[in-house]
Amino acid sequence: MTNRNDVTGTKRRSAGRRLLSAAAVAALCVGAGTAFAATPKNALVMAWNVDAISTFDPAQVGEVVTNEILQNTCDTLVDFDPADERKVVPSFAERWDVSPDRKEITFHLHKGAKFPSGNPVTAEDVAWSLHRVVKLNFGNAATLTEFGFTKDNVEQNIVAGDNTVTFKLDKPYPTTLVLQSIGANRVSMVMDKKTLMANEQGGDLGNKYLATRTACVGPYKLTRWNAGESIVLEANDGYWGKAPALKRILIRHVAEPGTQRLLLSQGDVDVARDLTPEDLKDLEGSKDVSIVKVLRPQLFYWGFNVADGPFSKEKVRLAMRYLIDYEGLGKTVMTYLGVPRASFAQLGAVGALDAKEGQPFKLDLDKAKQLLAEAGYPNGFEASVLFGTLPHANPIAQSVQQNAAKVGVKLSLERMANAQLFSKVRGREYQSAMLAWQTGVPDAHGNASRLVFNPDNRPEAKQTQYPSWRSAYQDLALNKQIDEALLEADPAKRDALYATIQKEVMAKGPMAFMFQMNSVAGVRKDLKSWTWNGFRTYYELATK
């Protein structure tokens, strides 16, 4: 027994020595692994929260991360000018002709382009790509149906010719608006029909196939996507256009902003996309990192269900606008994140009021109290405010709650998962809610057509894609004005019409718009030409 113990003890000691040796080797390995190099010279490395990606089908995609990936992998007919998002420039269409009555636009396409699969890109691919968006009827179909294209007529009205594609419109819409709304939008991304139809499942036009990959032509191609992990884009060698300077785009999913900041500070990534205002402030004076920001067409607003209760009264809704501390929040919670904006038309859009006219409100409790008294609520009322997981939603809601309490309005705050919030708002199961809305068009019509225009307010109509319907708000006079503004040919008159609509909506609309959001990023200074505007980020223009 004693001997056995001795032997075991000897074994233990030798095992201990081996363990120590192994630990020393491991420590050396750790040392070797810590020779941290800068990011590769030919690659752009980003830290970004890319959890939201669930498909790469342009017909279905509805969130900003995937949209940005697709914009860099799939060409559209035209593109937003990097220097001025209100202008469009040629992309897969070299040029376009417009008929005198503005009801026909013919796009002349590049010749000789090939998809990464090797299939040639044809006019038929371009037309088919647009048809499938309407036929699949996901949310993005509205981008086309708003211009009169339906499942029944889309094949007759978007027609492939000899290296051309022609749009036949039902009304003389402003050409620039059509180019911005459809031509530069993901709905016109050129898809590889042959590949998608070969992988079609149950008539889905390749929708399931695109859940995990792309099949289109663009400066980059998606070569790897591991959900919740990383994305790799590689330069498309056979691309018809100018080859991008950086051969690889490497995106690592990093959900925690603090971790993004560390990676950026250490030079392990070139760009961090989800930094908090505190991180951005600390990095402001850094010699290695620049803070870049650009206004994007996203509005954060407090929406009211006007079906019944206090919010059905215009004066109550107006009073709520005077409870928002635009200035104070803009300087604290929203520093870097956004700018105060009370108009539905985002700054930078065609027809939008300027910064001053588009934000006439300030915190004014007396005014709010007076309006409440005029509306029949001198002692206030009780209501709930729902909001989701946006980091700025909670402090903004709390600020409004505190101000409201001072005029007798008791607001109960309820935070929930975004999916739950959307369900409640879509079902009109709420009193008020704070959430965001983003348009894809740098024109006042983009938001007017959804946030104000409501084609049918009946509950059973279920026009859930219209936030105006979700608010149970319909103003037939405003509907008419929006239609008129849309078709007005004279740009000055059009601007005037939109100015009137914006002022009316600020006074009585169902949403108190609060802030227009920025896209903000921390960018290492050795990355040159980081180029973006409110609608696109141009990876192909970045250099090192």
Q: Scanning residues 454 to 513, which ones bind another protein (CB under 8 A)?
A: 462-465
Here's the x/- map for another protein, 256-275, by CB under 8 A: it reads as x-xx--xx-xx-x-------
Residue 223 neighbours by CB under 8 Å, 6+ apart: 232, 233, 234
C-alpha 536/C-alpha 516 separation (Å) is 17
**Residue from 64, 142, 307, 390 that binds another protein (CB under 8 A)?**
142
> Which among 35-43, 168-176, 498-506, 530-538 is the span making contact with another protein, rule CB under 8 A?
35-43
- Between 224 and 331, name the residue whose CB sits nearer to another protein: 224
Q: What tokens were used for 130?
A: 């647009």
CA dihedral sign of residues 202, 207, 210, 215 = positive
What's the closest the beta carbon of residue 330 comes to another protein, in angstroms?
26
- Beta-bridge mates of residue 107: 96, 165
Sorted by sequence, the CB contacts under 8 Å of residue 464 that are 6+ apart come out as: 426, 470
One of 20, 255, 355, 507 touching another protein (CB under 8 A): 255
Q: How far is the CB of 430 from another protein (least distance, A)?
A: 12
* Residue 231 beta carbon to another protein: minimum distance, rounded to whole angstroms: 11
What residues numbered 385-424 form the site for another protein, per CB under 8 A? Answer: 389, 416-417, 419-420, 422-424
Pick the closer one to another protein by CB: 322 or 473: 473
| Geometric angle at alpha carbon 334, from 293 and 63, rounded to 5° | 60
Q: Is 146 in the site for another protein (CB under 8 A)?
A: no
How far from the centroid of its chain's Cα atoms is residue 367's Cα?
35
Sequential DSSP letters for 84-135: -TTSEEESSEEEEEE-TTS-EEEEEEPSS-B-TTSPBP-HHHHHHHHHHHHH
Rounded-to-10 torsion of CA 463, 148, 481, 183: 100
Where do runs of H (alpha helix) occur along 237-287? Answer: 257-266, 277-283
Give SS3 for 252: strand
Q: How far is CA 397 from CA 30, 258, 262, 324, 388, in A?
A: 47, 24, 30, 9, 11
The residue (of 262 and 496) whose beta carbon lies closer to another protein is 262
Residue 228 or 378 having the CB closest to another protein? 228
Q: Are 121 and 236 in contact, with CB atoms under 8 Å apart?
A: no
Give the nearest distance from C-beta 18 to another protein in angstroms: 13
Q: Which of 69, 88, 184, 254 binds another protein (CB under 8 A)?
A: 254
- Which H/E stretch holds residue 346? none
Instruction: Indicate which single residue of 86, 87, 247, 253 sits in contact with another protein (rule: CB under 8 A).
Output: 253
Q: Which of residues 98-137 bind another protein (CB under 8 A)?
A: 137
Of 243 and 419, which has the nearer Cβ to another protein?
A: 419
Distance of CA 14 to the CA centre of its chain: 61
Report the candidate in 48, 59, 105, 45 with the shortest Cα–Cα distance to residue 78: 105
Residue of 118, 120, 139, 459 interacting with another protein (CB under 8 A): 139
CB 308 within 8 A of CB 371: no
Minimum distance from residue 301 beta carbon to another protein (Å) = 14
232 binds another protein (CB under 8 A): yes
Count of residues near another protein by CB under 8 A: 64
Instruction: Give least dist CB 351 to another protein, A.
Output: 22
Closer residue to another protein in complex, CB, 36/112: 36
Contact between 278 and another protein by CB under 8 A: the answer reads no
**Strand ranges (E), 178-256:** 220-226, 230-235, 248-253
Closest distance of CB 498 from another protein, Å: 22
CA distances from 80 to 281, 317, 439 (A): 30, 36, 14
Stretch that binds another protein, among 111-119, 247-255, 273-281, 303-311 (CB under 8 A): 247-255
Q: Which residues make up the interface to another protein (CB under 8 A)? A: 5, 26, 28-34, 36-37, 39-40, 43, 45, 47, 51, 53-55, 60, 62-63, 137-139, 141-142, 208, 211-212, 224, 226-230, 232, 250, 252-256, 258-259, 262-263, 265-266, 268, 389, 416-417, 419-420, 422-424, 426, 462-465
